[in-house]
Amino acid sequence: MSIDFNLTSKTNGDRFTANVSKDDVAKFNINVKAWIEDNDEISNVTWTTESGQGGISDTAIEDGVISGLVSFSQSGRTNISILLETLAGMKKKIWLVVGVEDGQVYQDDYGMCQ
């Protein structure tokens, strides 16, 4: 499964949301070309699972798209931060908020999933 987002410096916030099922593996692709044009070239990208159960692997940046493969072993909510660092030392943190559903168990999302 592939989930795509676009990051610009003017038109959207710093948080992206998605819904997956327990035991899914999703490739997240975030197009940052417009953000790079308004700011600076990205020198480093750091993916971190801040809460929940998201196993991150195969992170990359290529042609203005940052990507990472994330596996979800438990239901609930997973928050992943992605820190972008530019050549000039500027930092930008964006968030992936992922609702992980277990099809076998009813789970109230309390309005988190839209």
pLDDT, tens digit (0-9, with 9 covering 90-100), for 59-88 = 999 999 999 999 999 999 999 999 999 999
Domains of the chain: 2-101 (2.60.40.2020)
For the chain, residues with pLDDT lower than 50 are none
Q: Give a three-class secondary structure readout of 22-59.
A: CCCEEEEEEECHHHHHHCCCEEEEEEEEEECCEEEEEE
In terms of DSSP bridges, do strands 25-31 and 2-6 run parallel, antiparallel, or are they unpaired? parallel
